[in-house]
Structure 1
């Protein structure tokens, strides 16, 4: 296909496509003449990945270029590549002081050991988790921290499902795209599902009291003397 068709199929304007090629994000097409080049499905997949990095992942063009460079490096294994893609979605508004962060980091590393997870101490995911734990402790929500292993087991099952979907993608571009979109949009999905489940469990735990009160009121009304 020519660049106009590539633009039409991808929804990316032609000047933007040419900009991505100048920045090294998108490989050039195969030259068919001095002013013409041929593009294929690989370019379409790469454009989807670029848009995922920039629009959904919120990366700058330079940061997206780093992920693309890792993807194209023959020395980057799949695990390292997916790790680079994963970091595009790590966001946390939680914060804590240095002492709390140090204690929380130790707690996270202990959790990693208990779960038998293969995660290095310098992983950004360790730091992000420690920030959240430190913030929970600062707010006095120690009971949440005490249930950390329960949360970890649920997260482990979700992660296994995630990676099963990722590994089914046909190439590394698709795998990286799945990690980025799956993490960012998947996080939103998990939040929504968590809310749904909370509604269910709240009804099971607390609506029973309301039902009992309603039954008691109904029973009292049935036993009352009729008027007139």
Structure 2
């Protein structure tokens, strides 16, 4: 297909595709003439992945390039690839490392994760994110410790297991990589969105004036049961 058809199939404007080509995010097509090239399904898949990382993941072009380079490195184990995606997504630490409150919170988070039995890298950005959250809560007067995170950890554990078990064992490396990376980015956004919607619902149940009863449809059971 020509670049115009590639644009139509992916919804990405031609100038943007050319920009990705110049930046090395997208491999060149097969040259058919001086200023023309043919593109294949691999370009369609790559473009869609790039848009997920940029639009849903909110990553920079430079960070997307790092993730794509990791995906292209077939010597990199899948678990390490997931680590690359997590580091790309961040978030970066909010508080300075030499802050006494931060050091105490990080030690508490390390102990909490060890108690869960989770195998997590010492430099995982999410470790620092949890510590930053504890510090922030305490500085606004909330008396909380890592034990308050148990319900979140239990829910996250079930969701993460469900997401990874959903990847077929016989899937190709390319399909597995796309599933892992896209799942990490997209389902994180899904989780945040659903939590906010659920919070709004329960806020309405608790604080909003009561309205006449409405018909309720049976709840839909998701893929995780």
User: Which segments of 5 or more consecutive residues in structure 2 lack a partner in the other structure?
Assistant: 211-225
1:49–1:174: 8 Å Cα contact kept in structure 2? Answer: no
2:108–2:146: 8 Å Cα contact kept in structure 1? Answer: no
In structure 2, what is the Cα distance between the partners aligned to 1:23 and 1:117?
A: 38
In structure 2, what is the Cα distance between the partners aligned to 1:172 and 1:69?
A: 12
Normalised by the length of structure 1, the TM-score is 0.76
Q: 1:85 to 1:20 in 2, by over 3 A?
A: same
Equivalent residue for 1:22?
22
Q: Give how far 1:131 is off.
A: 0.4
Alignment of 1:1-228 (within 5 A): 1-91=1-91, 95=95, 98-143=99-144, 145-165=146-166, 167-168=167-168, 170-196=175-201, 202=206
Equivalent residue for 1:226?
none
Q: 1:49 to 1:12 in 2, by over 3 A?
A: same
In structure 2, what is the Cα distance between the partners aligned to 1:174 and 1:8?
A: 24
Q: RMSD over aligned Cα, in angstroms?
A: 2.7
In structure 2, what is the Cα distance between the partners aligned to 1:87 and 1:198?
A: 34
Q: Give how far 1:194 is off.
A: 4.3
Between structure 1 and structure 2, the one with the greater Rg is 1
Q: Quick one: higher RCO (CA 8 Å, sep 6+), 1 or 2?
A: 1
Q: 1:20 to 1:71 in 2, by over 3 A?
A: same
User: Which segments of 5 or more consecutive residues in structure 1 lack a partner in the other structure?
Assistant: 208-228
Q: Give how far 1:163 is off.
A: 2.6
Alignment length, in residue pairs? Answer: 202
Normalised by the length of structure 2, the TM-score is 0.77
In structure 2, what is the Cα distance between the partners aligned to 1:191 and 1:161?
A: 21
Deviation larger for 115-124 or 96-105: 96-105
